[in-house]
Amino acid sequence: MPDVTPGPAADRARYDRATAHLDAPLAVVDLEAFDANAADLVRRARGKPVRVASKSVRCRTLLERVLARDGFAGVMSFTLAESLWLARSGIDDVLLAYPSADRAGFAELAADPKLAQSVTVMVDDVAQLDLVDAARDGGTQEIRVCLELDTSLRLLGGRVRIGALRSPLHSPTRLAELARAVTRRPGFRLIGLMAYEGHVAGVGDDAPGNWARSRGVRLMQRTARRELAARRAAAVHAVRRVAPDLEFVNGGGTGSVQHTAAEDAVTEVAAGSGLFVPRLFDHYTSFTGRPAALFALPVVRRPGVGVVTVLGGGYPASGAPGADRLPQPYLPEGLRYDGQEGAGEVQTPLLGAAADDLLVGDRVWFRHAKAGELCERFAELHVIEGDRVTGSFPTYRGEGQTFL
């Protein structure tokens, strides 16, 4: 069957037509692409539920849209304040993916039966339990707890470490020790285990023009998947001996959904970036998604031949600084940053032959390097269906929420 996916030129014409009545800067979500990406995540999850990572979406309406689909269940949040807000909004299964020091939030959680039933907090240290207890302010609700296993790959006796610096709990033995501490402590209930393999799920393994690096990444990821599958299974076994009624074991991420879902020890997978498919998720052998979230900046100057200047544009993504953290000038194709200015706070020059076809008032479409961080810049996402804007969805920012 021939590929009928629209090409970049057709997408640009469609986006320009759809938003012609709107002033840029603006951000859009292509709903057909978003839904197709959601369906692909469900397919790759092989029947296990997908918990949607809210930090990669940051739009409550889109979170609710995804959760209404078969194959998705629950939210993975990034702050306690966000978790409580989502729970109060009607989402009844929120896993906080990071430990918190929000004392006011813990006091609210410990005082409200509905919130305490809906929100699960992340723990990898007894000191975090102490902080919760000190913050209860008289609240007596039992706090649901998830433990995090460090997924990093350690080689040469631990002298080489590959993976994010997250939990200190690397061995099944240490995880089980903390599990015992939680189960012995009044006011807490251990209900889950999480292990996020970011060095597998969040690192592209098909870098264009760099065969050696791609091969090295794939070798590292195969080794990491094998090592982690065995260690995760052992960790789950050790923790279940302490807490046999675990409700879930969460793992994965957009780039490793199908691999993680294949592990018997895992009961659910997490994903979020795969819904928007930002530029950092372009080069994977495990999946191909469709860009679903973009922003447009207006051309406001034409400084010379082969140059246009757009308004704003300095929207770097988090992570180690580098060119790959900058938004990608996407449509029209063939534009690039000026090496002296890059993406600017108030203006961004763009170079390339395509600049000569752009007039003042035209727009350039960009893709953010990461997913949900785009929504920190815009109050709403204009919804594109076909070649029409059919509405707009407020982002967290548009609802007055700035969690982090």
Summarize pLDDT for 180-206 with one digit per residue, the tens. 999 999 999 999 999 999 888 888 888
Cα angle 203, 330, 395; round to 5: 75
Mean pLDDT, residues 108-126: 98
Q: Give the pLDDT of residue 306.
A: 97
Q: Give the pLDDT of residue 153.
A: 92
Mean pLDDT, residues 271-286: 93
pLDDT in tens, 335-374: 999 999 999 999 999 999 999 999 999 999 999 999 999 9
Please return the burial class of 156, using the count of CB atoms within 10 Å of its CB with bins 0-12, 13-18 and 19+: exposed
pLDDT higher at 63 or 223: 63
Per-residue pLDDT at 4 exceeds 60: no
Cα 303 from Cα 350, distance rounded (Å): 10
pTM value is 0.94
Helix or strand (DSSP H, E) at 179? helix 172-183
Helix or strand (DSSP H, E) at 240? helix 211-242
pLDDT higher at 217 or 398: 398
Mean pLDDT, residues 3-23: 86
Q: Are 120 and 167 in contact (CB under 8 A)?
A: no
Q: Are 36 and 288 in contact (CB under 8 A)?
A: no
Mean pLDDT, residues 247-266: 95
pLDDT higher at 212 or 236: 236
Per-residue pLDDT at 284 exceeds 50: yes
Q: How confident is the model at residue 5 (pLDDT cuts 50, 70, 90)?
A: low
Worst-scoring range by mean pLDDT, 95-99, 221-225, 291-295?
A: 221-225
Q: What percentage of residues in the chain have a pLDDT greater than 90?
A: 87
Q: How many CB atoms lie within 10 A of CB 304?
A: 11
Cα 154 from Cα 345, distance rounded (Å): 40
Helix or strand (DSSP H, E) at 350? strand 347-351
Q: What is the average pLDDT value for the chain, to the nearest integer? A: 95
AA identity, residue 6: P
Worst-scoring range by mean pLDDT, 74-78, 237-241, 251-255, 284-288?
A: 284-288
AA identity, residue 59: C
3 state DSSP class of 115:
helix
Spatial CB neighbours of 75, under 8 Å, sequence gap ≥ 6:
51, 52, 53, 54, 63, 67, 86, 91, 93, 94, 95
